Structure 1
Amino acid sequence: MKSNIDKLKFPIGKFIAPNTIDNGTITKWIGIIQSFPDLLKKEVQELSEEALQKTYRPNGWSIRQIIHHCADSHMNSLIRFKLALTEDIPVIKPYAEDLWAELIDSKELAINSSINMLEALHYRWVVLLQNMTPSDMARQFRHPDSNELINIKTNIGLYAWHCEHHLAHIKIAKMNKE
């Protein structure tokens, strides 16, 4: 049973950073980040209120919560990128994404607010990413929970994965008969 839940939790697998991240890989990842809002909108634009309550696994988030989570997460990520670009190895502020997903705005608010936010945020984010220098890509931030140093180019990959990861969750939830 655990492996089935793991497949539902991580339908595209967990993010694994490649040993070498070249310009082609970064360009591909930026393209995924750029296309995410449109792909998300296409997946959910015709869903009823009832369909937005479907989950991708038992005790998992609803489609509505996933959409609002993506807005929350990507907003936090853009801030982390900007901190890394403007400060010397900043310690980022983590947030309790599981608790944020239980707040009323994540559980009940119309999805258009977060889709609109994602469209604007990703537009700005992609402009920033496309104009980074190699030295910008090497800049880092520290995650206080793990004390890990994370460089910007690896974080681009993590968020390209995050986009695809949650699109997969939505596709699974849409097929859920419950």
Structure 2
Amino acid sequence: MTTPALTDARQYPIGLWAGQDTYTPGERYTLINQLRALPALYRQATESLTDEPLARSYRPGSWTVRQLVHHIADTHHWHFFRVKQTLAETEKTVGVFGNVNAWAAMAEYQTAPVHGSLLILEGIHQRWAHLCETLDEADWKRVYYHPVRQRDLSLEQALSIGVWHARHHLAHIGLALQQPAVQ
């Protein structure tokens, strides 16, 4: 994978998702443990913040720390539901989250305390990790068509994307908290 340009380094601080075609049981185990641990990292980074640091963003025009916390809680509902839908239904195309920027622009995203979203993230990740631990090899290979990415994703790739997504936005929060608010 090539290194993002300097302007992209703040947008993709951990790089673009670079999934694999297949994952070993050990790699999946590592991803599940990361999935389980990420909510605590979000809590540690954000739960004691006041309004000023919650209003910081990681680059001009980007979402604030508060918006990022709400976004990760909301979208990880969708990640979890896509896995369940893939296991429970025969339809290959799963639902999409919608216009994430419109969601982030809502007053609720800009004013709601992060505590509720931290609780959601903890619950979703706990359930998602537990569900992953119940999957067999055939389940991991099941695929769904992701209309936004315009590609098929196996459930093991979906797990990898979910972990990457949480780490990606946690890195954004870290960038935002190391600098004064960006207007």
Greater alpha carbon shift after TM alignment, 86-95 vs 56-65:
86-95
Following the alignment from structure 2 to structure 1, what is the Cα–Cα distance between the partners of residues 165 and 149?
19
Following the alignment from structure 1 to structure 2, what is the Cα–Cα distance between the partners of residues 145 and 160?
18
Structure 1 unaligned residues grouped into runs of 5+: none
DSSP 3-state at the match of 1:69: helix
- Give the superposition deviation at 1:148: 1.5
* Structure 1 residue aligned with 2:114: 111
Following the alignment from structure 2 to structure 1, what is the Cα–Cα distance between the partners of residues 149 and 46?
35
- Counterpart residue identity of residue 140, structure 1: V
* Structure 1 residue aligned with 2:162: 159
Following the alignment from structure 1 to structure 2, what is the Cα–Cα distance between the partners of residues 160 and 68?
16
Q: RMSD of the TM alignment (CA)?
A: 1.4
Relative to structure 1, the CA distance from residue 157 to residue 146 in structure 2 (aligned partners, 3 Å threshold; closer, same or farther) is closer
Structure 2 unaligned residues grouped into runs of 5+: none
Is it true that 1:33 corresponds to 2:35 in the alignment? yes
DSSP 3-state at the match of 1:120: helix
Following the alignment from structure 1 to structure 2, what is the Cα–Cα distance between the partners of residues 16 and 154?
10
Cα deviation code 1:76-109 (max 9, x no counterpart) = 1111000000112431121211211111221111
1:5 touches 1:57 (CA, 8 Å); kept in 2?
no
* Structure 2 residue aligned with 1:8: 10
2:54 touches 2:65 (CA, 8 Å); kept in 1?
yes
Following the alignment from structure 2 to structure 1, what is the Cα–Cα distance between the partners of residues 53 and 94?
35
Identical pairs, percent: 28
Following the alignment from structure 1 to structure 2, what is the Cα–Cα distance between the partners of residues 85 and 72?
21
1:89 touches 1:142 (CA, 8 Å); kept in 2?
no
- Give the superposition deviation at 1:35: 0.5
| TM-score w.r.t. length of structure 1 | 0.94
Structure 1's consecutive aligned runs of 4 or more residues displaced over 3 angstroms after TM superposition are none
- Counterpart residue identity of residue 95, structure 2: K
Matches within 5 A, 1:19-168: 19-94=21-96, 95-168=98-171
Greater alpha carbon shift after TM alignment, 44-53 vs 59-68:
44-53
